């Protein structure tokens, strides 16, 4: 058997081998989906990583200086429910405050903060690669501003109330308080 034929036999044998269940080809925020035999987004399947203690403390009222979510959701944010998300692009002071809160740099050792624009993007169904790309454009471009522009372009009926609900799910009472300034 010549070297060409040996190589062809090896290639054919490798092609028949079953693909690995745990993928070495998937990205950092992806997992191997055995159902459709491809990489899938962890954020879309499992949601953003849980915030240790950030949400439970708010629900039980033991958040110290944090603002309780219930009064914000029932009073100030109820008036935002029907207002378009695009309004936030016109309210630069509020947008800048939200950018400071939601667009942080990765923490020490590369860890991500809890409830960031990255997590918010996952709530709006944006893939992890989109978030990675928008964060790579910093500091010349805000990931939050890019997310809002993308959501408004894809879904013109998106509302500030929907944004408020996502922020509440992420346990971001500080961002909800800033958003309530639009009410």
- In this predicted model, what pLDDT tens digit does every residue of 28-69 receive, in sequence order? 667 777 777 777 776 566 555 555 446 444 444 444 444 444
Domain that holds residue 27: 17-46
d(CA 123, CA 170) in angstroms, rounded, equals 9
- In this predicted model, what pLDDT tens digit does every residue of 104-153 receive, in sequence order? 765 544 445 678 898 899 999 998 888 888 888 888 889 999 999 999 99
Note the pTM of the prediction, 2 decimals: 0.59
The separation between CA 175 and the C-alpha centre of its own chain, rounded to angstroms, equals 15
In a domain, 149, yes or no: yes
Same domain for 24 and 70, yes or no, is no
Q: Which two tokens stand for residue 45?
A: 């399947």
**The total number of structural domains that make up the chain:** 2
DSSP code string of 73-125: HHTGGGGGTTSBTTHHHH-HHHHHHHHHHH-PPP-GGGPPPTT-HHHHHHHTT
């Amino acid at each position: 058997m010549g070297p060409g034929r040996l190589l062809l036999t090896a290639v054919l044998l490798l092609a028949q081998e079953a693909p690995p269940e745990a993928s070495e080809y998937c990205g950092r925020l992806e997992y191997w989906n055995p159902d459709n035999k491809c990489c899938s987004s962890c954020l879309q399947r499992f949601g953003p990583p849980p915030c240790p203690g950030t949400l439970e403390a708010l629900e039980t009222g033991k958040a110290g200086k944090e603002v309780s979510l219930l009064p914000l959701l029932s009073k100030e944010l109820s008036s935002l429910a029907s207002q378009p998300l695009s309004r936030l692009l016109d309210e630069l002071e509020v947008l800048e405050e939200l950018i400071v809160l939601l667009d942080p740099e990765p923490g020490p050792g590369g860890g991500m903060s809890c409830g960031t624009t990255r997590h918010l993007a996952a709530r709006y169904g944006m893939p992890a690669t989109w978030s990675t790309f928008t964060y790579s454009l910093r500091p010349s471009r805000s990931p939050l501003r890019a997310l809002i522009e993308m959501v408004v372009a894809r879904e013109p009926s998106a509302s500030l109330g929907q944004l408020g609900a996502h922020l509440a799910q992420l346990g971001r009472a500080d961002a909800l308080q800033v958003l309530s300034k639009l009410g």
